[in-house]
Structure 1
Amino acid sequence: MGRADTVNHRDHYPPIARSALPDDTVALARFLIGKLVVRDLPEGMVSGRIVETEAYVVGDAAGHGFRGMTPRNRPLFLERGHAYVYLAYGVSMMLNVSSEMPGIGTGVLIRALEPLEGIEIMQRNRGVERLRDLARGPGRLAAALRIDRSLDGIDLCQEGPLWLAKDGQDPGEIGQSTRIGITRDADRLLRFYVRGSPFVSGPRSLQE
């Protein structure tokens, strides 16, 4: 994909204004379903539609901001719409969006994308070809879009290496369930997903 295509892509998918983002974590997790993550890479643009999110709210024992701000989790305490990127279990990067007013320390985990553009780039980044598996799960998503700690703290509401966008498409019916892979506050219904999407991660029992 050439740089002329990059210009067209930017024009087509302008960043979501911060004022359009709900300032409540649960509302933002639902709002982001159907929106786009756009990644600018040297070899071209990559984008995907968000089909699954998890909210990590105020007082949430599973949230990284639960015990207060540290150098590692500082982006969670920024105004809503900033990236918080961390390494989980020493293996996979995770992309989160800060979700409330400055100083609050809450966020939304982007769990899965439906690949839209730059699919060949995603396939090379992941080392797999099957479309369904490219960004189904937060670690796969980050690998497919080559998201790393260099993006930690960036503003997702402005053009840059990574941003949030929308194209006006209705995401369809949104389901709600408990979150995946946590042990604290595990019974809270803070996961949102597109019902029937093959790109949603997790067990089938959580996709009803």
Structure 2
Amino acid sequence: MRGHKGGLAGLKQLHQQAQDARKEVERAERVAARDRARLDQAAPEQEVDAFRKAMQSARPIKPRNQIEHRLAALPDSPAAAARRMHATGEKPGRADAGISDGGVAHLLSENGTAYVRADAAPDTARKLKQGHWRAGAELDLHGLRVEQARHAVISFLDECLGQGVRCVRIVHGKGYGSEGMTPVLKDKARAWLAQKTEVLAFSEATPREGGSGALLVLMQS
């Protein structure tokens, strides 16, 4: 556990990172506005905006009494990544290559709400839901299409692994805004996570942390 000074230093660092990220977003948006007239319309503007907003939501969770993880600024900011995809026609798929949208129901437990990798302790998902590990970062998938969400989830996990963050929260929603009130990304997010070899376990979040609209995910160290 870090001391009081360490905690303050960590908070200051997170605050500085937030300021730097905000400046980068503002700079990127100015460039995008200037160049938009010359860009090929590789994807509808609303999809680019949705992707940008979702990746901007991937953030460190504010600590209560101590700093457990520190996420450095991403090497390619979310705004810059979205602008690059818009300009070049780049399709999401490199980070999530080989990840399918289903076919893993037999790996899930607790009526499809939990997963534990075969070589992990059987009670890992239960301990995860009970708060044994605190989530160090969060990703919100609201507003994304399936392909964009898949790319965002896998990229988010890779970035967190690179920064030493083992436990994260992924918000996929409860489907209240979807056609037929069906959560489009709920089952697909579970399928993607079960195929990610670094994922040890995941569990539906507690009501306080999003309930059936979110997952707590634990990755190997």
What TM-score do the two structures reach when normalised by structure 2? 0.25
Larger radius of gyration: 2
Would you tell me which structure has more helix in proportion to its own residues? 2
Query: Bigger relative contact order, structure 1 or 2, given CA contacts below 8 A and separation 6+?
Result: 1
Taking structure 1 as the reference length, what is the TM-score of the superposition? 0.26
